[in-house]
Amino acid sequence: MAGRPRIVVTGAGALCAAGKTPAEIWEAVRAARSAIGTIAQWDTSGWPTRAAGEIAGLEPFKLVTDRKLHKLIRRSDVFGLYAADRAIEAAGFAAFRAGLDEAAGSAFNDGTGVYVGAGGGSYESQYDYFPLLTGADGSLAAFGRELGDTVNPMWLLRTLPNNVLCHIGIRHALKGPNACITNHSVSGMLAVIEAFEALRCGEAERAVAVGHDAPIEPQMVLYYHQLGLIGSGVLRPYDAARDGSLFGEGAAALVLETEAAAAARGAAARGEVLGSGCASDALGLLPIREDGDGLARAIAAALDDAGLRPADVGMIVGHANGTRQSDASEAAAIRAVFGAEPPPVTGFKWAFGHLIAASGAIETVLALLALRDRVVPGIATLQTLDPALGDFPAAAAARAPRGDVALVLSRGFGGTNAAVLVRAG
């Protein structure tokens, strides 16, 4: 919109089961290669579902090399810090600051914000207590007597949801505005939106936006299964045989800057964030409207914010989580906004699982790569489009976008809906 600064993307980082860089993940998606397999973190023999997008051969100390820091962070935090480090590295912060005097370097740090979307529903923090609960055999006195010697004294610090936010600032001396968002699976996208709005409002000149999560744990898998949200082994968005979603784990980060700030330090723009929108179904924790009203209003708000028409959108990255109701209402929302001829629709969760709080961030990173390469990758697991969705433009084969703008959608519990519009650099 006129009078507001352009916000560009100057760096990105990501990891998930499909790879440890945006390029690796993108290559897997384009090659129609799914990284979803059997969960290895615990014995899933006899479990109703055993599949997820787990990062194989995880070596946390290679992702985050500060060994002392590992005493204070969880698996999910390792992912978030790694993605942020790679995005900041790609944006060239360290090299640029090295050439500044002390005053200019201090101003750079003060003008750089950090916004993080974190998973707030992890049960991992409870597991430290299970052996003690078993050993105490119902005796509160025994529990209290052994507590200090059994539970890690760093337990509290390890469970803080804002660990990634704090340690990004500490590790990179970034002192500008910051926020930690825990709003289920829209968290990562909301981090991007908050960073975007902070720059447009002049609160900062640049910002790091991160989404991270590690939902693959016994209680999370069991509870989602009991809610009827977990699939049997293959994540099939929009397919007639779809039967639920599957978890993935990982993180993604983007460095956003005002166009002027990026130009002042000679940073190349890899893309541009054009607008955003958020809306709620306001029905309850789990229900969503069949007509997709909340998502449709979020899309409309994003288009209005960007000053674009539906016809300007070249492709859509759907939430595409593979649950019957979400996919159907998403199709209804897209039809409500775009009419009879929406642009090509794709999704990425089939390739590496639903990263919950990290999903919107990693899908925004991949959307920019899709626009760069001018391809809408196919949904490899889509065999038969659900006839109830009508003439919905999702396909297993790759297609060309009809323009240089992508709409990325994200949805979460409580009827939350978010949308972001981006353009390739």
Query: What pLDDT, on the 0 to 100 scale, is given for residue 2?
Result: 62
Query: What pLDDT, on the 0 to 100 scale, is given for residue 159?
Result: 87
Asked whether the CA dihedral 93, 98, 99, 105 is positive or negative, the reply is positive
Superfamily per CATH, domain 7-120+161-424: Thiolase/Chalcone synthase (3.40.47.10)
Write out the two tokens for 106.
């201090």
Question: pLDDT digit of tens for each residue in the chain (425 aa)?
Answer: 567 999 999 999 999 999 999 999 999 999 999 999 999 999 999 999 999 999 999 999 999 999 999 989 999 999 999 999 999 999 999 999 999 999 999 999 999 999 999 987 778 888 888 888 898 899 999 888 888 888 888 888 888 999 999 999 999 999 999 999 999 999 999 999 999 999 999 999 999 999 999 999 999 999 999 999 999 999 999 999 999 999 999 999 999 999 999 999 999 999 999 999 999 999 998 999 999 999 999 999 999 999 999 999 999 999 999 999 999 999 999 999 999 999 999 999 999 999 999 999 999 999 999 999 999 999 999 999 999 999 999 999 999 999 999 999 999 999 999 999 999 98
Query: What pLDDT, on the 0 to 100 scale, is given for residue 1?
Result: 53
Write out the two tokens for 107.
């101003």
For residues 327 and 308, what is the distance between their CA atoms, to the nearest angstrom? 25
For residues 92 and 242, what is the distance between their CA atoms, to the nearest angstrom? 43
SS (HEC) of the chain: CCCCCCEEEEEEEEEECCECCHHHHHHHHHCCCCCCEECCCCCCCCCCCCEEECCCCCCHHHHCCCHHHHHCCCHHHHHHHHHHHHHHHHHCHHHHHHCCCHHHHHHHHHCEEEEEEECCCCCHHHHHHHHHHHHHCCCHHHHHHHHHHHCCCCHHHHCCCCHHHHHHHHHHCCCCCEEEECECECHHHHHHHHHHHHHHCCCCCEEEEEEEECCCCHHHHHHHHHCCCECCCCCCCCECCCCCECEECEEEEEEEEEHHHHHHCCCCCCEEEEEEEEEECCCCCCCCCCCCHHHHHHHHHHHHHHCCCHHHCCEEECCCCCCHHHHHHHHHHHHHHHCCCCCCEECCHHHHCECHHHHHHHHHHHHHHHHHHCCECCCCCCCCECHHHCCCCECCCCECCCCCEEEEEEEEHHHEEEEEEEEEC
CB contact at 8 A, 320 and 346: yes
What spatial distance separates the first Cα and last Cα of the chain, rounded to whole Å?
A: 18
Residues of the chain with CATH 3.40.47.10: 7-120+161-424
